[in-house]
Structure 1
Amino acid sequence: MGDSHKRRTFFEQLGFVSIVVLLRLFSLLPYALVARFGSALGAMLFAFPSSRKHIVLVNLRLCFPGKSEREYDDLARDHFRHVIRSYLERGIQWFGSAETIRDIVQIESKIDLEDGDAPPTIFMGFHFVGIEIGCMLYSMQWSVASLYTRMSNKALCDLARRQRGRFGAEMLERSTSARKIVGLLRSGKPVMLAADMDHGIRNSVFVPFFGVSACTLTSVSRLARLGNARVVPFVTEVLPDYQGYKLTIFEPLSDFPSASDTSDARRMNEFLETQIRNYPEQYYWVHRRFKNRPPGEAGVY
């Protein structure tokens, strides 16, 4: 038992070191080269059966009914290209220079980001493949706290937290108390978070997502209510022809939060659906978005 644990630990450490070495290598290469290589690798990996490929196809069939199998395969392959590419581009995001990141990310904001009298603000993001680099670009120029979800691999989680916050973002685990987050909001520090994944039925409601009941967190409206904060959506899209990314910060959601967490969750999903339709291949379909089902409904994966 002890030898088995030591071998497992050794290979975990070896794998972690290999990941860091590769990411540092990718950070030294031109962005377009890394992006092209990641896209090609994603297309190659899609050719092999895998649990993630299965999850992507299930999600696409549920959310976009009526397409042909060829259309589902083409969309899923394009998604694999983007996902694997985004993993390789972590090298640039985590270890590249601030100048490099500024060169490949554009920003367009519907609100005044320099407003010193801005109300408490929750920046609500979504899991498109470019979310990480958009958050990092923002943290280079403005003070912000950012919520993250802990990974199972502690070494990788610690690395991700450290590198994501290397330009000044205050990194907070998703389980951080609401009191602390509300305190940050009231002190004038914006908080970035994403609430579009299935984290379990606690503090969640089932509302439609592309017509399918999806377990959706109510944390955004709850925190906004407690902190008297506006909720400002943002999306980072991958630009065509390896031109980089574009971070778009939208107008605050009107009349949000409302008196109903369920209504607010529906509005979040409706906004997200609109954005996904613009570039469906870039949303994070590899996540089991419909992992938890309403009582009486069978699992889908």
Structure 2
Amino acid sequence: MDRPQFRAYFLHPRFWLLWLGLGLLWLVALLPYRVLMLLGRGLGALMYRLAGSRRKIAARNLELCFPELSAAERERLLRENFASTGMTFFEMAISWWWPAARLRRLGTIEGIEHLRQAEIEGQGVILMALHFTTLEMGGGLLGMAQGMYGMYRPHKNPLFDFVQRSGREQRLLGVIGRDDVRGMLKLLRAGGVVWYAPDQDYGAQRSIFVPLFGVPAATVTATSKFARLGKARVIPFTQERLADGSGYRLTIHPPLADFPGESEEADCLRVNQWIESAIRQHPEQYLWAHRRFKTRPPGEPKLYKKRRR
């Protein structure tokens, strides 16, 4: 994709409120990191009260994925998850707008030798990430240490899309449209690293049903297809917000061995097993507000209540 370009259209009055919000966020992001995280917790508490539909989706996901927890334990996890989601807004600003030297002080990276080895051997890498609430921080911090591209879905608001892409591409080599399969394969075959997250529900057309937390989940087959056609390694990548408030730990895990395997179903199952394992490490930091089990196998009932219009 071409680099984002500013357009005079962005000065139209319809965008003035968004400009005001972005300007305020930029000013607030000048505060110290620990203050921003406290503000994030406060924002998350407010969102818990006001974002009723998203709260219900997240609560339903926790009920489906952690049936072994008591109702009180799931409620505590839900509240902590909203606190983590509130922090995301300020982490987004930090990742996009902090100077590189200041941003680097927040992160440590473990396992980068797996990427270095692939580079030495001329192997492309699918850097398999997840939609944790810390996603922007993970991409920003790793992007300053390792040249890589990101898969990208344009935002519906063109001004926000411009700001988001501009912020991300300060840290990345560039972004690839989610539907630009040819472009992704070209990069992988040339030995590039592509940051890619396969953990959301993209519908039945691109997916097969395999268990995730014991629930049949529509799981994209693209991970194994990209690995096979791009002759690339799949290297899992996670990041966590540290409990002591000092920043983030990024972990680049060993490549998936013998991947892709004998069938897409077996590959999707392996991916979901890794996803589940990674989420269980820090469930409060995962993006539970996404309707992960929206698409159901034929004949099975819906798992979420119908949205009110």
Q: TM over 0.5: same fold? A: yes
Q: Distance in 2 between matches of 1:247 and 1:19?
A: 30
What does residue 194 of structure 2 align with?
191
The amino acid of 2:56's aligned partner reads H
2:165 aligned with 1:161, yes or no?
yes
2:122 aligned with 1:134, yes or no?
no
CA RMSD of aligned residues (A): 1.7
Which range moves more in the overlay, 124-133 or 226-235? 124-133
The answer (yes or no) to whether the contact 2:96–2:140 under 8 Å persists in 1 is: no
The amino acid of 2:59's aligned partner reads L
Q: Distance in 2 between matches of 1:188 and 1:61?
A: 41
Please, which of 9, 20, 38 is the counterpart of residue 18 of structure 1? 20
2:253 aligned with 1:250, yes or no?
yes
The answer (yes or no) to whether the contact 2:114–2:252 under 8 Å persists in 1 is: no
Q: TM-score, normalised by structure 1?
A: 0.92
What does residue 236 of structure 1 align with?
239
Kindly state the Cα deviation for residue 15 of structure 1 after the two structures are TM-superposed. Answer: 3.2
Kindly state the Cα deviation for residue 10 of structure 1 after the two structures are TM-superposed. Answer: 7.1
Secondary structure class of the residue paired with 1:86: helix
Please, which of 23, 27, 49 is the counterpart of residue 47 of structure 1? 49
Which range moves more in the overlay, 133-142 or 266-275? 133-142
Structure 2 unmatched ranges of 5 or more: 1-10, 305-309
Which range moves more in the overlay, 261-270 or 35-44? 35-44
Please, which of 108, 111, 129 is the counterpart of residue 109 of structure 1? 111
Q: Distance in 2 between matches of 1:164 and 1:217?
A: 24
> How far does the alpha carbon of each residue in 1:217-265 deviate from its partner, in whole angstroms, 9 at most, with x for none?
1111100000111100000111112111111000000111113111111
What does residue 31 of structure 2 align with?
29
**Count of paired positions:** 292
What does residue 3 of structure 1 align with?
none
The amino acid of 1:103's aligned partner reads R
Q: What stretches of structure 1 move > 4 A for 4+ residues in a row?
A: 9-12
The answer (yes or no) to whether the contact 2:114–2:254 under 8 Å persists in 1 is: no
Kindly state the Cα deviation for residue 165 of structure 1 after the two structures are TM-superposed. Answer: 0.8
Secondary structure class of the residue paired with 1:276: helix
Secondary structure class of the residue paired with 2:116: coil
The amino acid of 1:74's aligned partner reads R
Structure 1 residues 11 and 198 mapped into 2: Cα distance closer, same or farther (>3 Å)?
farther
Q: Distance in 1 between matches of 2:12 and 2:189?
A: 45
The amino acid of 1:129's aligned partner reads T
Structure 1 residues 139 and 110 mapped into 2: Cα distance closer, same or farther (>3 Å)?
closer
The amino acid of 2:249's aligned partner reads K
The answer (yes or no) to whether the contact 1:111–1:251 under 8 Å persists in 2 is: no
Kindly state the Cα deviation for residue 46 of structure 1 after the two structures are TM-superposed. Answer: 1.5
Structure 1 unmatched ranges of 5 or more: 1-8
Secondary structure class of the residue paired with 1:214: strand
Q: TM-score, normalised by structure 2?
A: 0.90
Secondary structure class of the residue paired with 1:215: strand
Which range moves more in the overlay, 160-169 or 44-53? 44-53
Secondary structure class of the residue paired with 1:28: coil
Q: Distance in 1 between matches of 2:107 and 2:21?
A: 24
What does residue 5 of structure 2 align with?
none
2:296 aligned with 1:293, yes or no?
yes
Q: Distance in 2 between matches of 1:12 and 1:220?
A: 39
Percent identical: 38
The amino acid of 2:33's aligned partner reads Y
The answer (yes or no) to whether the contact 2:91–2:134 under 8 Å persists in 1 is: no
Secondary structure class of the residue paired with 1:247: strand
What does residue 207 of structure 1 align with?
210
Kindly state the Cα deviation for residue 297 of structure 1 after the two structures are TM-superposed. Answer: 1.4
